[in-house]
Amino acid sequence: MNPTAIKSILPGLILCGILAFSAQALSNLPVLKGHFPVGAVMLAILLGTATRQFIPIGTSMEPGIRFAFKRVLRLGVAGLGFSLTFNDIEAVGFRGLLLDTALITGTYFFALALRRWMDLGKDLPWLIATGTAICGASAVVAANSVLKAKDEEVAFSVATVTLFGTFSMFLFPLIAHLGGIPVPIYGAWAGSSIHEVAQVIGATMNISPKALDFATILKLTRVAFLLPVLIFLEILLIKEGQKLVSNKTSRAEHFPWFVVGFAALVIVNSVHLISPALTVQLQHLDTWLLALSMAALGLETHLGRVLSVGRSAMLAGFWLWIFVSLWGLALSVVLFGHSFHGI
């Protein structure tokens, strides 16, 4: 990165850093360490969102905010590999793969039903379904590289997925505490049902390390489904007689390479290539990076845009959210219900 580019991202990065430090300080207050404590990651999102709504953000801040949300978040997600080993992944194993496969497949079948029931057009249901089933707004954009939908449909889909994914981030932990949902069931539910990687982290990091581990593995498995999903959408276009608009290069560009980094760090952690003391420090650093990127996520959240989405997109997103939440919970109970203890 050249000096000019570094200079352009500094203001936004500094703002995100201030919000992350503030969130970390607030999370350590005794009043927030009760029965339902609020972690630094979730507080960073709230502070970022509040800042965006009530304080004018200059254009000079935007490059750094986008950098934190895209690049730093990917680094932070990859860094979660320092908290996992092969033994942790084995605990999820085939059941986790089966859960994600059933969840994603069911989501697309339900989207097909919505497409016919609500007369949503040819692209909107696939955009929202991809964002819901895979990895939120970034998956919507990736799907559009194949579908080439209308700009407003993409905007509606991104806003809808963001809105309901944010709802899940706050509602799932509350439901878990009120219902006494066991840790592995909750981790599986959150990892298989919440839209964005960032939202999954926010919904599980403050529950328990085990919930975060389960959710992280399952969520990143969902993210890895992005490439076959893009191929599926291309096949769908051919079947429906539309022009094929993407190629191998575009698929490679959208491949979530941070998943490879995550896997590499799991290997490093599993074979003990670094000392336990250094591993702990790297875990703390990763938590900081995630808080920084969560502050950026909040700063990227324009409530006005989210609330102004079209009625059809909102309803489609709502019903897909309800389906994924209930279907994901049912699958999690069936596949992981015999394990461990309550939260």
Cα separation, 243 vs 52, whole angstroms: 40
Q: Considering the chain, what is the average pLDDT of its residues?
A: 82
Contact by Cβ (8 Å): 324, 167: no
Per residue in 216-232, pLDDT (tens digit) is: 888 888 877 877 887 78
Question: Which of 11-42 are b and which e, b meaning 16 or more Cβ less than 10 Å from the residue's Cβ?
Answer: bbbebbbebbbbbbebbeeeeeeeeeebbbbb
Average pLDDT over residues 153-159: 77
Per residue in 9-66, pLDDT (tens digit) is: 999 999 999 999 998 888 777 766 554 455 677 788 789 888 988 888 888 899 999 8
**How much is the pTM?**
0.68
For the chain, report the end-to-end CA distance as a whole number of angstroms. Answer: 44
Domains of the chain, residue spans:
11-336
Give me the pLDDT at residue 288, please: 82
- To 5 degrees, how large is the angle CA 236–CA 107–CA 193? 140
Give me the pLDDT at residue 244, please: 45
